[in-house]
Amino acid sequence: MSYAGLLTKIERLRLRMHALVDAGFSYSEVLKVSQELDELIVEYYQC
Protein backbone atom coordinates (compact mmCIF):
# COMPACT_ATOMS: atom_id res chain seq x y z
CA MET A 1 0.00 0.00 0.00
CA SER A 2 1.22 3.51 -0.74
CA TYR A 3 2.17 6.07 1.88
CA ALA A 4 -0.85 8.16 0.93
CA GLY A 5 -3.17 5.18 1.29
CA LEU A 6 -1.76 4.30 4.70
CA LEU A 7 -2.02 7.89 5.88
CA THR A 8 -5.65 8.00 4.78
CA LYS A 9 -6.43 4.79 6.67
CA ILE A 10 -4.54 6.03 9.74
CA GLU A 11 -6.47 9.29 9.76
CA ARG A 12 -9.83 7.52 9.36
CA LEU A 13 -9.08 5.17 12.25
CA ARG A 14 -7.82 8.02 14.40
CA LEU A 15 -11.06 9.93 13.84
CA ARG A 16 -13.09 6.77 14.51
CA MET A 17 -11.24 6.15 17.76
CA HIS A 18 -11.92 9.70 18.98
CA ALA A 19 -15.58 9.37 18.00
CA LEU A 20 -15.88 6.16 20.00
CA VAL A 21 -14.36 7.82 23.05
CA ASP A 22 -16.64 10.85 22.68
CA ALA A 23 -19.69 8.60 22.32
CA GLY A 24 -18.78 6.69 25.47
CA PHE A 25 -18.08 3.31 23.91
CA SER A 26 -16.49 0.62 26.06
CA TYR A 27 -12.78 0.42 26.72
CA SER A 28 -12.53 -2.85 24.78
CA GLU A 29 -13.99 -1.31 21.62
CA VAL A 30 -11.68 1.71 21.80
CA LEU A 31 -8.73 -0.60 22.48
CA LYS A 32 -9.53 -2.69 19.40
CA VAL A 33 -9.47 0.38 17.15
CA SER A 34 -6.31 1.63 18.87
CA GLN A 35 -4.58 -1.68 18.16
CA GLU A 36 -5.63 -1.53 14.51
CA LEU A 37 -4.23 1.98 14.38
CA ASP A 38 -0.95 0.80 15.91
CA GLU A 39 -0.63 -1.89 13.23
CA LEU A 40 -1.12 0.65 10.46
CA ILE A 41 1.43 3.01 11.99
CA VAL A 42 3.99 0.19 12.16
CA GLU A 43 3.26 -0.68 8.54
CA TYR A 44 3.66 2.99 7.58
CA TYR A 45 7.09 3.20 9.18
CA GLN A 46 8.22 -0.08 7.59
CA CYS A 47 7.46 1.14 4.06
What pLDDT score was predicted for residue 14?
97
Neighbouring residues of 1: CB distance < 8 A, sequence distance ≥ 6: 9, 43, 47
- Give yes or no for a contact between 17 and 33, defined as CB atoms under 8 angstroms apart: yes
Q: How far apart are alpha carbons 44 and 23 in whole angstroms? A: 28
Q: Is the pLDDT of residue 25 over 90?
A: yes
What's the pTM value of the predicted model, to 2 decimals? 0.88
Q: How many domains does the chain have?
A: 1
Q: How far apart are alpha carbons 20 and 26 in whole angstroms? A: 8
**What's the mean per-residue pLDDT of the chain?**
96
Q: Is the pLDDT of residue 37 over 90?
A: yes
Range of the domain at 9: 3-46
Identify each DSSP E strand in 1-47 by its residue range: none
Q: Is the pLDDT of residue 15 over 90?
A: yes
